[in-house]
């Protein structure tokens, strides 16, 4: 039993810590406004995390056969880490509620991608409903987003699409020593390009607190990739239900009035969706998490 507990802790700690960090990041941003994430701080954070990873672990050299996998990992990192931050390219602020609901569609994108790439017999509806339940819960708790601005609509559509496709692409790459730093460097390049565009268009600048923000961004990016490398993309996507749940529970704890029934139903939907995403479907348990080949151990 102790061995099983240690194994579960080793498997789940990156996702747990990631959700806790992201769930409490808003409090730091409110107390220190300059510490909020920017494209520049995220790019600096990803580059720093990649350098630290290589300095500490010192992975072996890359063979010719591994180069294709590393390129795939770099593209995946650029997609899945940049996806949640792409709204920072938009010249005007987008409401946080709209961004949260957009990212909550990431499990739906992952479900469609997994079903399309694995060609399994499992019903797609069985994979879609946890993500849809997350959206339903958020609609009960947050202000409904306005879809009247085409530019904002494009940003909101790209966020889950890039994040979900990047997560599936990262999981499809074979596990090699350079996979995580390659993903971090790919994200660093993409975010750096976005920061340069913002600087050229005077949308964003270099904050005084960029060092603090970069530290948190580095921690989040590294935890996200470690969690994704140890879990399936479906389980990893549970964070998009868990993080809003943590933030909303923190808000409920500060309320002095009675919690409305509508809010309770919304919180229960988020919790139910998170559990459903963390427990893999029966069909998924018969497949290795990183390839479309059946896992021989599960077929015995």
Domain boundaries, the chain: 13-58+65-279
Q: What pLDDT score was predicted for residue 183?
A: 95
Check whether 150 has a pLDDT greater than 50: yes
Distance CA 75, CA 69 (A): 10
Smallest CA-to-CA distance from 46 within 159, 184, 140, 182 is with 184
Lowest average pLDDT, out of 101-105, 111-115, 133-137, goes to 111-115
Q: Which residue has the higher pLDDT, 18 or 296?
A: 18
Question: Tokens 């061995």 sit at which residue?
Answer: 3
Q: What angle do CA 4, 17, 15 make, to 5 degrees?
A: 65
Q: d(Cα 109, Cα 61) in Å, to the nearest integer? A: 34
Per-residue pLDDT at 295 exceeds 50: no
DSSP letters spanning 22-49: HHHHHHHHHHSGGGS--HHHHHHHHHHH
pLDDT at position 287, please? 41
Answer whether residue 15 shows pLDDT above 50. yes
Confidence of residue 116 (pLDDT cuts 50, 70, 90): confident
Instruction: Quote the pLDDT of residue 120.
Output: 56
Say what the pLDDT of residue 208 is.
57
What is d(CA 256, CA 215) in angstroms, rounded to the nearest whole number? 35
The model's confidence at residue 299, banded by pLDDT at 50, 70 and 90, is: very low
Distance CA(190)–CA(74), nearest Å, equals: 10
State the pLDDT confidence band at 259, using cuts at 50, 70 and 90: confident
Which of 159 and 66 is assigned the larger pLDDT? Answer: 159
Give the tens place of pLDDT for each residue, 94-104. Answer: 999 999 999 99
Q: Is the confidence at residue 218, as pLDDT, over 50? A: yes
Cα distances (angstroms) measured from residue 199 to each of 132, 190, 202, 253: 37, 14, 5, 40
Indicate whether 12 pLDDT > 70. yes
User: Cα separation of 215 and 48, whole Å?
Assistant: 8
Is the distance from CB of 254 to CB of 48 less than 8 angstroms? no
């Amino acid at each position: 039993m102790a061995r099983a507990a240690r194994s579960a802790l080793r498997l789940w700690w990156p996702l747990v810590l990631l959700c806790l960090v992201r769930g409490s990041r808003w409090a730091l941003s409110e107390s220190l406004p300059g510490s909020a994430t920017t494209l520049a701080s995220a790019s600096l954070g990803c580059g720093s995390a990649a350098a630290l990873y290589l300095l500490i672990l010192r992975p072996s050299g890359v063979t010719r056969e591994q180069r294709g996998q590393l390129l795939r990992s770099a593209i995946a990192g650029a997609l899945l880490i940049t996806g949640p931050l792409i709204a920072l390219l938009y010249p005007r602020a987008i409401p946080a509620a709209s961004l949260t609901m957009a990212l909550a569609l990431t499990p739906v994108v992952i479900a469609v991608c997994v079903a399309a790439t694995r060609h399994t017999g499992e019903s797609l509806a069985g994979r879609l409903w946890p993500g849809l339940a997350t959206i339903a819960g958020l609609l009960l708790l947050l202000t409904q987003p306005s879809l009247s601005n085409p530019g904002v609509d494009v940003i909101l559509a790209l966020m889950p699409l890039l994040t979900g496709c990047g997560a599936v692409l990262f999981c499809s790459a074979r596990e090699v020593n350079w996979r995580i730093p390659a993903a971090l460097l790919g994200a660093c390049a993409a975010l750096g390009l976005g920061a340069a565009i913002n600087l050229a268009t005077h949308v964003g600048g270099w904050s005084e607190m960029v060092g603090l923000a970069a530290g948190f961004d580095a921690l989040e990016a590294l935890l996200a990739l470690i969690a994704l490398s140890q879990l399936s993309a479906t389980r990893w996507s549970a964070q998009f239900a868990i993080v809003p749940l943590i933030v909303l529970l923190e808000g409920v704890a500060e309320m002095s009035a009675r919690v409305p029934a509508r809010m309770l139903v919304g919180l229960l939907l988020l919790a139910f969706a998170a559990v459903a995403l963390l427990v893999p479907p029966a069909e998924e348990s018969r497949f290795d998490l990183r390839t479309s080949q059946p896992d021989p151990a599960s077929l015995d």
